[in-house]
Amino acid sequence: MNEPTTSPITGLSEDEAQRRRSQGQGNDAQAKTGRSYGRIVRDNVFTFFNIVLFTLAVILLVLGSPRDAIFTGAIALVNAVIATAQEIRAKRKLDAIALLTRPKATVIRDGAARGIDPAEVVRGDILEVGPGDQVVADGVVVGDGVADFDESLLTGESNPVPKRAGDPVFSGSFVLVGRARYEAQKVGVESFANKLAAGARQFTRTLTPLQREVNLVVRILLALVVYFGVMIAVTYLVIRNASLLQSVQAASVVFGLAPASLFLMIVVAYALGAVRIADKGALVQQANAIESLCHVDVLCLDKTGTLTANRIQLARVMPLNGHVETDVRRLLGVYACSIGATNATSEAIAAACGGAAMQPSASIPFSSARKWSALAFDASELAGAYVLGAPEMLQPALGDDLSWQAEARIWANAGHRVLLFTATDAASLVVIDGEEPTLPANLTALALLTFTDELRPEARETLAGFREAGVAVKIISGDNPHTVAAVARQAGLGDDGAPIQQISGPELALLDEAAFSHAVAETTIFGRITPEQKQRIVKTLRAQGRYVGMTGDGVNDVLALKQANLSIAMQSGAQATRSVADIVLLHDSFAVLPAALMEGQRIMHGMEDTLRLYLTRIFTLAFLINTIALLSAGFPYTPAQNSVIAIFILTIPAFFLTLWAPAGAVPHGSLVRKLINFVLPATIVTSLFSSGVYLYFVVITENWHYAQLILTYASIAMGLLLVIFVQPPTEFWAGGDLIAGDRRPTLLALALLMILMISPHIPLLRGFFGLAPLHSLTDALIVGAVTVGWMLALRLVWKRRIIDRYLDVNLANGGAPR
C-alpha cells in the first residue's frame, strides 16, 4: 500500500470525489451473482443434445413425419425451458440475497460523515468502520483509531487481526471490535477480493458421469442412424429394391433411433431433484448438481464459516486455587454481560454462564494487541477488579502462581483457545484517558477457560452420513492445524480410532510434486493453507481419479470451488462464492445435504432403469432393421407404429420409473458397463423372438403390412413385461436385476397391457393409437404365446447365465473375464 495522501479528518471534498469518479477511479466493479440472463438462455438452448434434437426434428419433418418431428422438437424446447427457468430462478434468488447482504459505507467528505453505496467510493476517500462494518475497498488505516478485523472470508483464518495507523485493510474483511478510519487506495477490479474472485468470472459447464455416459450412447446411436440411413439410400437409389414411400417411412423409423425421450427423462429427473430439495433449504444453480453429489467420493470442507458457525463456545471452566466452579461461573456471567464492547468471547461466556449486567467502576475493553480485558466493581458482593486474557499475557502479573500452566499447555496443544480469568483489588485497575492501559498487579488465578469453535449443529450427523456412504472427508483451513484438528474431532472424525493425519501449508510448500500428491491422498487435516494451495489440493485429488466435492464460504475458497467437480457454498458467504457454486445452502445448513445425496441416488437409479429400457429397445430395433433388410422382407414398423411402441414401452414407463426411483448406494464405475448384464441378454432374446414372429407372419400371410401390426403388438407386450424385469417385485422376475420390492412398476405395466388389449375395440383409443384389430383370435393367442415364451426364455438366460458361460465372461461385472 502507498502512504496516505488524504486528511483523515476532512476527507475528500465532494468536487474532488466527482472529479476522481469521472477519471475512472471509482469502486464500480462489484462481485456478480452469476451469468447474465442472455448468457443463461444461450447456454441452455445451444447444447449438444438440443442441437441434435432440433436437427432430427427438421429431418423428420422433411421425411413426412410431422407428429414425430413435433414431439422431438418439443422435447428440445422443454429441455431448454426447464433448465433455463431453473437457472434464472436461482439467479433471482441470489440477486435478492446479494441485495440484502450488500454492505454500506460511511465516508468522510468535507469533514462530515455520511452513508453511501460502496460503488460511490473513489480512490483517496476516507472511510470509517466500526463493529460489524465491512471494508469495501483496499486501503491503509489512518488516524488514531484501533480496531480488530476479521479476514476469514479472505484468508480462512478465524483469529482477529489488530490494525492501527499504517496497517493495510482489505475489502471483504469486517470489524469485530473498535473503530478506525482508512484511506481507500485500491478500488474496483484492483482490490484484493476482486482479484481473488477473478477466476469466478469464467463459466464452465462440467458434465457429470451420467451425462457423459448418455453422451456416449447418443453418439453410438447417431452412428447407427447414419449407417442405416446409408443402407436405405443404397436400397432405394442403387438396388432399386424399395419404393420412395417405403424408403421415406423406413428413414423416419431409423431417425427415431435417436433417443429423444431419453433427453426428456434426464431433464425431468433433474427438475424433480431440484424441486424436492428446494423446500429443504438448498438452491440448485446447475441442473446436474444433485446427480453430481451422489458421485462424490471425497468431500473437502473449509472450517471457518462452513464446518463451524463463525462463533465460539465456552467448553470448560476449570477452577484454580480452591475456587468453586459455580461461583466462578457466576462471576464470569456478570463480567461478560457488563463488558461494554462485546465480542465473540464475551458472547460465548454469557451464553454458557448467564448473568446480569452491572455498572463497572472502570473498564478496559479487549484488544488483540494486548490480548486481555478488565472490569472493576465497587459493589460489595463483587468488589474488586477482574481480568480475562491470554495466559501468557497475564503471567507477569501472577507472580509465583503457576497452578494453571500445565493444564493450559495441554488444552492449547489440543487446539483449544485458552483464557485465564483472574482477580485483584479494585484499586489496582487504573484507566487514564489517552494512554495505553496497563495490566493490574498481584493477580490471582480464578479459573482456566477453554473455548472451541461452535460446530454447526447438523455438521456431525451430516459428516457421519457421508462417511457411511464411503465419502472421504478432508478439512482445509487457513487456521492452525491443531485448531482444525480439534474441530475435526468435534465433527466426529477419528471416532473410529484411526489417527488424523495433519499438515500445514508451509510444510506442503516444501514438497515436490510426488510428495505433495502423496500428502494430499493421505492427509485429513490441512492448516495454514493459502487459496492457491487449496486449489492445488483439489486439482491433485481430481488428478488421482477422485470425484471431489468442495464446500466454502469465503473469497479465498473461489479458486478451489471452481476446480472441484461439485461446489457448494453457504448463503452467508461471499457473493463471489455463491455465484460460482453449483448448490447454495440457504440458512447455511448442512442438514439438506443427506437429502440431496438421496435425490442424486434416485436420479441415478431412475436413469439406470430408463437406460435399460431404451438400450434394449434401440438395439433390438437396429437388429430387426438389419435382419429384415438382409432377407428383403420389408421393414419392421411404420413410423406411426414405432411411435406407439415408444409411448407404451419407453415414454410412459420411463417417466414413472424416474418418479418412483429409490435411493441407495450408487456403485462407482461405468454405467454402460453395468447395464450390459441386462441389456445384452434382453436384446438378443427380444430380437430373436421379434424377428421370428415377424417372419412367420410374412411367410404365412404373404402380407408384410399385417406382419408389422403383429410385431407391433408383440413388441409392446414384451416391452411392458420388460418393465417388470427392470424392477422385479418377486424372486420369479429377478435375474437382470435384484429384487426391488416395489410393485408400482408391475401394476403400471399390467395397466398398460390392459389398455393395449382393449384399444383396438374402442373407437376413441383405436383412433388415438392407430392400432387395428388382429384378424383372428388365433393370431392374438400366437402373440400371447410368443410373449410368454419370450418371458420364460429371457428368465432362463439370466438365471442360468447362458450368455456369460458361452462368452466366458461375467456380465454382472461389466463383461470382465470369469
pLDDT tens by residue, 315-357: 999 999 889 999 999 999 999 998 876 777 888 999 999 888 8
pLDDT at 455 over 50: yes
How do residues 518-568 score in pLDDT, each as one tens digit?
A: 999 999 999 888 888 998 999 999 999 999 999 988 777 877 888 899 999
How do residues 355-411 score in pLDDT, each as one tens digit?
A: 888 888 888 888 766 788 889 888 767 888 999 998 888 888 887 777 788 888 888
Q: Which residue has the higher pLDDT, 84 or 814?
A: 84
List, in order, residues 6 or more apart from 672 with CB less than 8 Å away: 213, 216, 217
pLDDT at 498 over 80: no
CA-based max dimension of the chain: 117
> Looking at the domain 309-455, which fold is it?
Calcium-transporting ATPase, cytoplasmic domain N (3.40.1110)
pLDDT at 676: 86
Give the mean pLDDT of 563-575: 84
List 318's β-bridge partners, or say none.
Answer: 448
Q: What is the C-alpha to C-alpha distance for residues 535 and 531, in angstroms, rounded to an integer?
A: 6
Give the mean pLDDT of 723-745: 86
Q: What is the pTM of this model?
A: 0.72
Q: Where is average pLDDT lowest: 38-42, 257-261, 611-615?
A: 257-261
- Pick from 50, 78, 82, 81: nearest CA to 258: 50
Give the mean pLDDT of 712-739: 90
How do residues 107-131 score in pLDDT, each as one tens digit?
A: 999 999 998 888 889 999 999 998 7
pLDDT at 687 over 50: yes
**By the 8 A CB rule, do 50 and 73 touch?**
no
Return the C-alpha cell found at 280: 429443504
The one catalytic residue in 148, 150, 302, 557 is 302
pLDDT at 608 over 80: yes
Residue 279 known to be catalytic = no
Confidence of residue 235 (pLDDT cuts 50, 70, 90): low
pLDDT at 405: 85
Q: What is the C-alpha to C-alpha distance for residues 350 and 332, in angstroms, rounded to an integer?
A: 8
Q: Which residue has the higher pLDDT, 481 or 498?
A: 481
The string of DSSP letters for 672-738 reads HHHHHHHHHHHHHHHHHHHHHHHHHHHHHHS-HHHHHHHHHHHHHHHHHHHHHHHS-SSGGG-SSS-
Q: Where are the domains of the chain?
A: 260-275+598-817, 309-455
Q: Which residue has the higher pLDDT, 244 or 750?
A: 750
Q: What is the C-alpha to C-alpha distance for residues 584 and 582, in angstroms, rounded to an integer?
A: 7
